[in-house]
Structure 1
Amino acid sequence: MSETTIAWEQMASYFPNIQRFNPTHAQMIQVKQSLSAPRLRLLVTNRFSSLPLVITHLTVAATVGGEKAVTLAKQTTFTISAGQDQWTDWVKLPVVAGDWLTIEIISPTTSPQTLMQTLDQSVIKLASLKQNKWFGVAAVAVQTARPKQQLLLFGDSLTNQGYYSAALSQLLWSQQPDQWGVINGGISGNRLLRPGHSTSVWSPSFGAAGLARFSTLLTEQPIDHVIFMAGINDLLHPGTESPMAELPTADALLAGFRQVQRLADQTQIVLQFMTITPFKGSMLDNHIAWTPQKEAIRQTVNLALLENANTIDIAKFVAESADSQQLATEFDCGDHIHFSPVGGRQVAKYILNHWA
């Protein structure tokens, strides 16, 4: 009996503000393969678009198995309806853990609105380092003879950007090869308690509230382990790109984390919380994002989270030694919120060393 595991997935978001994203009608991405398998299938997503996504050509190539055409309902040309995702037919293509899959798409759809994004390109390679978004294929699933472990990295842009999540994935794959499929469940701008609601031009891409997203993800595929890093946008957005009245209390945020724990317990998932990282000195939409009030909420929430044995105090690890309210320089990409590539790699090592 074969087992199906998602070897790789990147969360999709809604980008109606990006027009003519696919002017050449062709796209190529490469994805590092984490699991060896004799066959695979691809998730083609059009989940947030208002128009159909037409695929006239889709191929996947691996070093061992060569290049294969990918079909849906045995058709090489197919359409993904607006608001839908579709898994393709299974492709007989031997793949080896550590190999790169090359996925090519030809589509006459000029302005797909459902896009995935990443800043790190050590697990996902795009056409150039300047490019950080792609359309169409959001996941690769494989069939294996034995069960594999499924890890969900859940969060916001700190997870989505890939600097810690890709590094953590690769450390995990090197220490336990051919055992883990990884889902990057980060969405930039995502809040734990509220859906995207902002004056930012990127607001539509911020997605549903993290609690709702997490609940949905648990119903879409089996998950064994979750690393959960969320809550910073619940503090950053109010008073900058959303009304200050939307600032949650510490009790409200903690109630959200308790709900996450209940959802994990119901599905027997091993859950690892992360404390909320520092953001003093940050700006959003030319507004100061940090306030003493927000800092007091962050500190209260983090202290309560640390009462649980399943919490990693990442906030302390990345904080400036002289001021725990700020990201240390070596972790800061420059905006006082997000990790740098070097910082992300250090975060990944820290998480793996403290993962219960």
Structure 2
Amino acid sequence: MRRRFWPRQPLALLALPLAGLLATVALPSAAQGASTGFTGTWAAAPTGVPASDSTSFADQTLRQIVHTSVAGRTVRVRFTNEFGSTPLTIGEAHVARRAADGPATAVDPATDRSLRFGGRSSTTLAAGSQRWSDPVALPTPAGGSLVISLYLPRRAAGTVHSSAFQHGYVAAGNVAGKPDVTPTATMTSRYFLSGVAVDRHRRTADSALVAFGDSITDGSNTQIDADHRWPDLLAERLRGDRRLAGTGVLNAGIGGNRLLRDPNPPAGSGAESYAAYFGESGLKRFDRDVLRQPGARAVVVLLGVNDLGHPGTTAPASEEVSAAELIAGYRQLIRRAHDRGLQIFGATILPFEGDTLGFYTPQREAVRQAVNRWTRTSGSYDGVVDFDAALRDPDDPGRLLAAYDSGDGLHPNDAGMAAMAGAFPLRLLLKH
């Protein structure tokens, strides 16, 4: 029997041996550190940084902007030091709604709230840890912008989401509580910030859908500051349906991410300078980035194109994958999701013939076709999202339709992202 999705009541690193990656693992508590009654309204998956990235902050304030998917009356924010090698000290943190007018760095001062941690205004996160702030009353609209300001008194480095497709700002000193700041730098990565959750009640969020994927889910090649990633556009579509208007949509995409393996750049390839941003394998990070999301009740998986395309470029040629290996990885995610009561939907891998990144070969196309055929017909998933059918060129189905191609033959443009959001079958979220 299919699991019911919407409850009526609230409720690299060196590649590891494939056999080890496919082993079943014990799962931690879902939504660890977030109170029952909260659901995610925004998320970003953290990664480590390569040795070449010397970015750090000290006696500086980071002002970062997030786009909410559902509304709430009370807010919590998740900070992360999961890939740091030293403690992360948060001297002060604030959350506010973005100012309706004025510069991008400004907040609405009437909405500014100081975040606390166990009642204290500051906290220290041990290396490898994350922490939710205490709840704070702040009416938060769906589809709006929240500004999170974080003062870092001592050197902080090591945990990032490298491609935000959103501008953030760095300012000198502790200006976390100021209505506006004078930036000393701008950034398009997210630092030490991985989630925002809102209280769940009948008129807002009842549960969340996690979009688990790679750069296509992360929003690669979309317009910066436009929130045109397909999960954002899907959230907008859900808000227009009264039956699903309380559905949180959480983006757990990481550019370059693979299902089966961690980053493993060949020496001398040049990929050593950025491959760590690709994040741990989907199999390894599934617990943190999906199962622990507050309010998560379903996940859609769009991973596999980098498993196909990276060998011989940013990974050793020996890591070429077969359809059977990818399917074994998907089956593990399905089992782990079902063990935790989540529905899991499979998304077909988009076409990439003619790409400019060196991904395509006829052999890899045959694997893609075999994987997509299994996704559509095996019945292993609780539902299928056929992105391939929605975005391929009907006259040349191995390629993206030109109108949806960002220019590299692999990543959809903003119109393609809209087509992906439109291709998601809403009936999947209404299943009983």
Asked if Structure 1 and Structure 2 have the same fold, meaning a TM-score greater than 0.5 normalized by the shorter chain, the answer is yes
- Further displaced range: 53-62 or 107-116: 107-116
Structure 2: gaps spanning 5 or more residues: 1-9, 11-35, 98-107, 170-182, 220-227
Q: What is the CA-CA distance between 1:151 and the residue it aligns to?
A: 0.8
CA distance 1:296–1:354, shift in 2 (3 Å): farther
Cα distance in 1 for partners of 2:359, 2:289 equals: 30
How do 1:1-356 and structure 2 match up within 5 A? 3-16=37-50, 17-22=52-57, 25-62=60-97, 66-110=111-155, 112-121=157-166, 126-127=168-169, 131-146=187-202, 148-161=206-219, 163-176=229-242, 178-199=245-266, 200=271, 201-221=273-293, 222-284=295-357, 288-308=358-378, 310-352=383-425, 355=428
| Higher RCO (CA 8 Å, separation ≥ 6 residues) | 2
Cα distance in 2 for partners of 1:234, 1:158 equals: 14
On the 8 A contact 2:259/2:307 being kept in 1, the answer is yes
Cα distance in 2 for partners of 1:304, 1:45 equals: 37
Q: What is the CA-CA distance between 1:119 and the residue it aligns to?
A: 4.9
User: Which secondary structure does the structure 2 equivalent of 1:152 belong to?
Assistant: strand
Structure 1: gaps spanning 5 or more residues: none
Cα distance in 2 for partners of 1:71, 1:173 equals: 31
Equivalent AA in structure 1 for residue 230 of structure 2: Y
User: Which secondary structure does the structure 1 equivalent of 2:112 belong to?
Assistant: strand
Cα distance in 2 for partners of 1:81, 1:215 equals: 20
CA distance 1:243–1:89, shift in 2 (3 Å): same
Deviations 1:130-188 (A, max 9, x none): 84212122211122334612110001111112621221122222324751222211111
User: Which secondary structure does the structure 2 equivalent of 1:333 belong to?
Assistant: coil
Q: What is the CA-CA distance between 1:27 and the residue it aligns to?
A: 1.6
User: Which secondary structure does the structure 1 equivalent of 2:377 belong to?
Assistant: coil
Q: What is the CA-CA distance between 1:90 and the residue it aligns to?
A: 1.8
With normalisation by structure 1, the TM-score equals 0.89
User: Which secondary structure does the structure 2 equivalent of 1:184 belong to?
Assistant: strand
User: Which secondary structure does the structure 2 equivalent of 1:12 belong to?
Assistant: coil
User: Which secondary structure does the structure 2 equivalent of 1:103 belong to?
Assistant: strand
Cα distance in 1 for partners of 2:146, 2:418 equals: 23
On the 8 A contact 1:37/1:143 being kept in 2, the answer is yes
Equivalent AA in structure 2 for residue 186 of structure 1: G
User: Which secondary structure does the structure 1 equivalent of 2:424 belong to?
Assistant: helix
Deviations 1:2-26 (A, max 9, x none): 7121221111111233223547822
RMSD of aligned Cα (Å): 2.6
Deviations 1:47-101 (A, max 9, x none): 1011222222211113696211112222223222211101112212233334432
Q: What is the CA-CA distance between 1:230 and the residue it aligns to?
A: 0.7
Cα distance in 2 for partners of 1:64, 1:145 equals: 26
Cα distance in 2 for partners of 1:170, 1:21 equals: 35
- Further displaced range: 155-164 or 38-47: 155-164
Q: What is the CA-CA distance between 1:352 and the residue it aligns to?
A: 4.3
On the 8 A contact 2:386/2:423 being kept in 1, the answer is no
Instruction: Tell me the number of residue pairs that the alignment of Structure 1 and Structure 2 aligns.
Output: 350
% identical equivalent positions: 30
